[in-house]
């Protein structure tokens, strides 16, 4: 119900177009690209996702895997030179982003990850950790070797790494938050990244339903958020107006 209040068009779009049509509709709204123009990209994204999932048999939890399709299509549409994500885990989303960059023939991805942070964080919430790496596996182990040339992995806390990383990069076109989903961490990442996004740049966030950080940020910056139904994924495109 809270989500419907934030975006009342989601329910009728879902009823008319179904889940597939809804995903295309949401990304079309976010990128201002027509739905027919992104149809083939979603087909290709589905193939990339299935190939990645075939390598993920040993992973007990991958979250909402279809976010990988949205990321792939967004990167294909925008053709960014630089993408930054926080939170890697097994690397499903990372793989989809890298596959799109490879298909574009340009662009690099910088990822920040604090391996298995859930082991200490989740118990403090009374929850069992879910996104724990299999034994003897490194963050992003799902990323195939042929896609790794465009990838830069930074291990550690985003609060320590993200500001300096952004200071050393040119303007980024797309950012994905998928690290620690606390209000403070999410707001920190959004606020830190925002000045480095150009007009039209995308800020995407997973698990926005955990707290009000994303909706609060969008309101503070007068941005129109797009929610991908009940997936927990949402995004804003930085306004092109002052």
pLDDT tens, position by position, 201-217: 999 999 999 999 999 99
How does the average pLDDT of the chain come out, rounded?
87
Is it the case that residue 7 has pLDDT exceeding 80? Answer: no
pLDDT tens, 34-88?
999 899 999 999 999 999 888 887 666 666 678 999 999 999 999 999 999 999 9
All structural domains of the chain with their residue ranges: 41-237
CATH of 41-237, one of 3.40.50.720, 3.40.50.150, 3.40.50.2300, 3.40.50.300: 3.40.50.150
> Over the stretch 171-212, which tens digit does the pLDDT of each residue have?
999 999 999 899 999 999 999 999 999 999 999 999 999 999
Q: How confident is the model at residue 112 (pLDDT cuts 50, 70, 90)?
A: very high
Higher-scoring residue by pLDDT: 14, 20: 20
Q: Could you tell me the CA-to-CA distances from 216 to 60, 87, 125, 183 in Å, in that order? A: 32, 21, 22, 10
Main-chain phi, psi angles of 202, to 5 degrees: -105, 135
Q: How far apart are CA 2 and CA 190, in angstroms?
A: 22
Confidence tier at 4 by pLDDT (50, 70, 90): very low
- Residue 227: its H or E element: strand 226-227
* Predicted pLDDT of residue 168: 97
């Amino acid at each position: 119900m809270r989500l419907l209040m934030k975006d009342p068009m989601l329910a009728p779009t879902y009823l008319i177009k179904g889940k597939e049509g809804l995903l295309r509709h949401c990304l079309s709204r976010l990128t201002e690209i027509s739905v027919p123009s992104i149809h083939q990209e979603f087909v290709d994204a589905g193939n990339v996702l299935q190939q990645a999932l075939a390598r993920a048999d040993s992973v007990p939890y991958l979250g909402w895997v279809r976010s990988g399709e949205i990321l792939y299509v967004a990167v294909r549409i925008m053709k960014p030179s630089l993408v930054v994500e926080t939170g890697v885990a097994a690397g499903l989303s990372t793989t989809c982003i890298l596959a799109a960059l490879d298909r574009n023939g340009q662009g690099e991805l910088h990822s920040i990850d604090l391996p298995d942070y859930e082991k200490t964080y989740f118990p403090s919430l009374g929850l069992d950790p879910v996104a724990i790496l299999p034994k003897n596996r490194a963050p992003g182990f799902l990323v195939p070797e042929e896609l790794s040339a465009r990838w830069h992995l930074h291990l550690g806390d985003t609060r320590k790494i993200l500001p300096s990383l952004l200071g050393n990069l040119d303007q980024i076109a797309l950012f994905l938050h998928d690290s620690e989903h606390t209000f403070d961490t999410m707001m920190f990442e959004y606020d830190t990244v925002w000045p480095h996004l150009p007009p039209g740049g995308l800020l995407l966030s997973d698990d926005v339903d955990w707290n009000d950080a994303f909706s609060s940020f969008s309101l503070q910056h007068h941005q129109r958020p797009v929610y991908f139904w009940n997936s927990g994924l949402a995004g804003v495109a930085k306004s092109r107006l002052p």
